[in-house]
Chain A
Amino acid sequence: MTALAEVKEKAGGTVPLARWTEGYAPLPGRPDAYLAPDGTPRDSAGGAWSRLLDHLGRLGEPEMMARFVSAERHIRDAGISFRVYGDQREHAWPLSSLPLVIGAAEWRDLSAGLVQRAELMEAILADIYGPGDLVAGGYLPAAVVAGSPEFLRPLHGVAPPGGRYLKLYAADIGRGPDGRWRVLADRTQAPSGLGWALENRMVLARAFPDIFEACHVERFPAFFQAFRDGLAAGAERADPRICLLTSGPYSSTYVEQAALARYLGLMLVEGDDLVMQDGRLHVRTVSGLKRCDALWRRIDADYLDPLELNPASRLGVPGILEALRNGSLVMANMPGSGLCESGALEPYLDGIARRMLGEPLTLAGPPTWWCGDPDGLAHVRDNLDALTLRPAATPQRGAGRDALLGPQTLAADRDRAVAALRERPFDYVGQALGPLSTMPGWERTDAGLRLVPRPFVLRVFAARTPSGWQVMPGGFCRVAERDDVDPTEMRLGIRAADVWVLSETPVETQTPIQGRTPRVRRLAGHLPSRAADGLFWFGRYTERAEAVIRLVLAHLRSVGDAVVTDIAGGAHAPTAARIRRLIAEWGAGSAPNLPTAALAQQALSGRTAPGSARAHIESARRNAAKLRNRLSGEAWRVLADLVDLLSLDPGRAFTESQLSGRAERALSHLAALSGLAHENMSRAAGWHFIDLGRRIERAINTCDFALALADDEATPESLGVMLALCDSQLSYGSRYMQGVALDPVRDMVLLDPYNPRSVAFQAEAIARHLADLPPLAADGVPEPHCRLAARIVAEFRSGEAADFDAVGMARVESELERLADAIAGRYFPAGPQAARPEKLGGLG
């Protein structure tokens, strides 16, 4: 028992540290991060764990738990999530409340080893894609290189623009049997995890700000700034445009990619957003094609260029390798860098380090034998039961992954392995992978929490910056919730943990502003067409949802005030029937003659009704999911709440008053959403597109309402509902004393430019937005879509109520639809309707 355990807790009990650590012991044969094999805290960790546990102990268990619960709520609200590969659902990010802590001295050694290994990988790539001395000199077998699917022959002889193959190197590490850090896998292709590390840090530092401060935890901002400078280094222009090429919204790490794009100020793009022109890479934006100077790719190189690499790829950009050949594009990491993930390199690394760096390898991987080498094959055959046999060339994954034969396998696997070694032994390596090392994790017992050793994998990162390699002070740690689970890949049963590198001295909180001051700018740069598309539809869907909800309230006779409650009779009364028909026409209800409550419930939350308010909100959320880097956390949270509000249990019949209560709450959420856009979004192109979508949709919906309720056979009753749907009863009442009449109502909901719900108002707003967006050419001639908008505006300015009979309204509505198409054609040319790159057919 430590002295700390005797300190009294605020609440009067003892500090729980003694209970937490009682019985904590390393698992047999497995090195532990906290305790050395003899059960004393590791010296190499510099007492880091004791410092952390001491602080947590002072906090006390209830307070610690309470803080963590609020951290978990923040994770849910902010939509921090991940996807398991092959699974459509997103899971809330499982963060461990306990960081992995590492002391300063140990971290210095680890960092030095990591930098050496990164530099070695760089040297290997430069040689293999360049002069080829390593193979010619016998330091590396030709078959190890040729056998890797990441040896990309079209890149041979292409010097990396900016001079570097690797801009970001990562390694999964753990403690080896001797307790020293050891590499489990190298990540040189497109390492993931930086964004998760950042998210973990933001959540945990927020939950435990006092402990974070007191433990002198090293901060990240300087590393990320340097990493960003490294991405830009070597670009042709001084103020380069840097894009992050994502693997798309359905990738397991999309949320992370979006977070990084936002944090680093990079433009998040998909392959479709990019196009080669005149030998240079460009982004399609709403202002036309704009040059991309540097690209951080998060897709595997093979998918990068369907013209020169994998022709089946739909993720890449045809011809992009040309921009590397002519030096106009800097890429992180150079395609072909994935070669260094090959397990068969490991046996040769020490020799190569001595030859190329003049020093032995300090941070080694697991002992590995390549079976293409006669001695390696003999060793593996003789020690088959103690080794893990796995593909030599496919990129390494975590321990045991893709292994043909591990230490605990069945006889059938053994036969398979022996057979595999017969004809193509060179496809395999044998590795002596010890069990994973452990770190403390929480276990709940009846008496409260206690600490138990849990297997973990730590991913550490090194960035190539203009001033050399810089190691991120921390990393991305994954901990298994049971001791027999492999935590290498994020999935259920695995928790992520923040990584705290503890400085010996207090850490500067303010990062000094280094280097040149960026040019002051007020616009975030050009908006990619695809993002504009998403924002536009986000605006349309939220507005459509609002219209459906208003319609439902009218149907429930609870919209506005007195006017509507006057609707006479039941479902077959003329006005009620018109509303019901419109609900059915909009696809919000399956049939117009359902019982009132059932129809309302369907229109609000029908799963199968394509036009229900909930369907529209979910469509809006799908669009928002692709715009994670552009929407605030608050907007995301309101959307989540809206989905909850509109998810009514279909097995339960709600009453009319319950339904109108829900509908009203949903309306106020929608108002909050549009308020957020109005008050918080910069008036840059993105905001214009959300509002454009909203205005177009509102104009079309209002025409639809008017065609149903203010048509040539309108009754005072239906006109009253029309006013209510447009929120215009009060204004109407104050302007006209003697009840509702057709022309005044039409004037107010269609033509009145002062009424923010009239069609004319929407048309004017649309025209203003279009005028504010950047033109394609500077010749002063209005583009076709602007002329179309001007024509619609003119029609309203010059018209009077009598012109807008049913025929006139239908004409305006179809003109608005055409305008929506023209806007899409102009700003989102790569949208779903556009011509796609197709492969030329071939022949035998």
Chain B
Amino acid sequence: MIYTLRHRTTYRYARPVRFARCSLRLKPQDGEGQTVLASAVTIEPSPANAVTRRDYFGIEALGIRLDTPHAEFVVEANSRVAVDRPAPPEPEAGPTWNAVRDAVLASRDLSGAAPVHFLFPSARVPLVPEVTDYARASFRAGRSAYGAAHDLMRRIRADFRFDSSATAVDTPLAEAFRLRAGVCQDFAHVMIAGLRGMGLPAAYVSGYLRTTPPPGRPRLQGADASHAWVAVWCGSGWLGLDPTNDCAVGNDHIVVARGRDYGDVAPIDGIVTASGRQRLRVEVDVIPEDEAVPELALAI
């Protein structure tokens, strides 16, 4: 499947900002079942300086500096990505969770691709004893790592309520867990905390999800959203699980970046020198190429 992606973020400031320094992580991942056919980022106002760097985990970030006063900051990322992933395995397949953990501990790999980095708490995913207790029910002795993770995903989907008003981007995961509510970011963080609490490496994945417009209605521009889910280390590779939708990751998911938690993969983060309020607006389009484009034009 080939997708055309547009991700436009607009910051409006109450008072002009003199200076900003940001990292943009908007280019989809190349590899592991994805091929980036084209990718470009436009920035307004144009930055004084822009440097592309890969971090320890291989995530590509565009570091920019703005030093002209501006009241509005717009970043638009456009890309075309081909996605062709193998079908997810059967839920109970693969090595047991204890075996996976022991192998990670014995590993001599400390490279950015190594699962060992994803075994420990991170800034936004502390270990929360209540979450570990919740996860434990999925970890029967002798069960496969993937099976346990799959079961945990299913339970989170069943026990938690999707509610975008329940949490904000900086709500601690313990609070989202207590509420049993939140958005994709909260579901992913809770699931990661549960998996790590039981000793399995788990990662946070940012990206997009293909959505289907209601039958007979055109796709509305900018109505899609960025998405987040979980990757779990299953002994020989990462497998994606989406607790918001209770499904394994296949060709409907487009990966942008995989990190320890939201902080590692945030599409835009940075520091501005400001004294007023800021307003944020995000528009995302995920358009599968088999969909008729003229309909989109009609919808504008």
Contact = CB atoms under 8 A, between A and B. Distances in A.
A841 B169 contact: yes
B226 A146 contact: no
A836 interface: yes
Secondary structure at the B interface, as helix, strand, loop or mixed, is mixed
Contact of B22 (A153, A374, A840): A840
A319 B22 CA distance: 10
A145 B110 contact: yes
A153 B56 contact: yes
Interface in B131-161: 132, 136
A373 B282 CA distance: 47
A311 B269 contact: yes
Given A142-B108, A153-B56, A844 B185 contact: yes
B263 interface: yes
Chain A interface size band reads 35 or more
A306 B269 CA distance: 11
B20 A423 contact: no
B28 interface: no
Interface stretch (A133-141, A170-178, A563-571, A755-763): A133-141
Given A372-B105, A835-B18, A840 B272 contact: yes
Interface in B99-146: 102, 104-112, 114, 116-117, 119-120, 123, 127, 132, 136
Interface string A300-322: 00000011001100000011000
Given A147-B119, A319-B21, A837-B272, A843 B105 contact: no
Interface string B257-291: 00000110011111111110010101000000000
A839 interface: yes
A836 B17 CA distance: 11
B55 A843 contact: no
B167 to A, nearest CB: 8
A393 interface: yes
A397 to B, nearest CB: 19
B184 interface: yes
B108 A138 contact: yes
B249 interface: no
A713 interface: no
A844 B198 CA distance: 25
A109 to B, nearest CB: 35
B254 interface: no
Contacts of A840: 11, 20, 22, 268-272, 278
B137 to A, nearest CB: 13
B243 interface: no
A841 B278 contact: yes
Nearest to B279: A841
B190 interface: no
A423 B199 CA distance: 6
Interface in A119-145: 128, 132, 135-138, 141-143, 145
B55 A146 contact: no
A154 B275 contact: no
A143 B56 contact: no
A24 to B, nearest CB: 48
Given A141-B105, A311-B263, A843-B280, A147 B120 contact: yes
A424 interface: yes
B228 interface: yes
A180 interface: no
Nearest to A132: B110
Contacts of A145: 110
A319 to B, nearest CB: 6
A227 interface: no
B282 A843 contact: yes
Interface string B1-30: 000000000010000001011110000000
B197 interface: yes
Contacts of B186: 844
Given A146-B110, A311-B263, 7 more contacts: A146-B119, A307-B21, A307-B271, A319-B21, A835-B18, A839-B271, A840-B268
Chain A to chain B: the 3 pairs with minimum beta-carbon distance, closest first:
A153-B56, A844-B185, A835-B275
21 contacts: A135-B108, A135-B109, A135-B110, A136-B110, A146-B120, A147-B120, A306-B271, A307-B21, A423-B199, A426-B199, A835-B275, A837-B272, A838-B278, A839-B269, A840-B11, A840-B271, A841-B169, A842-B266, A843-B169, A843-B267, A844-B186
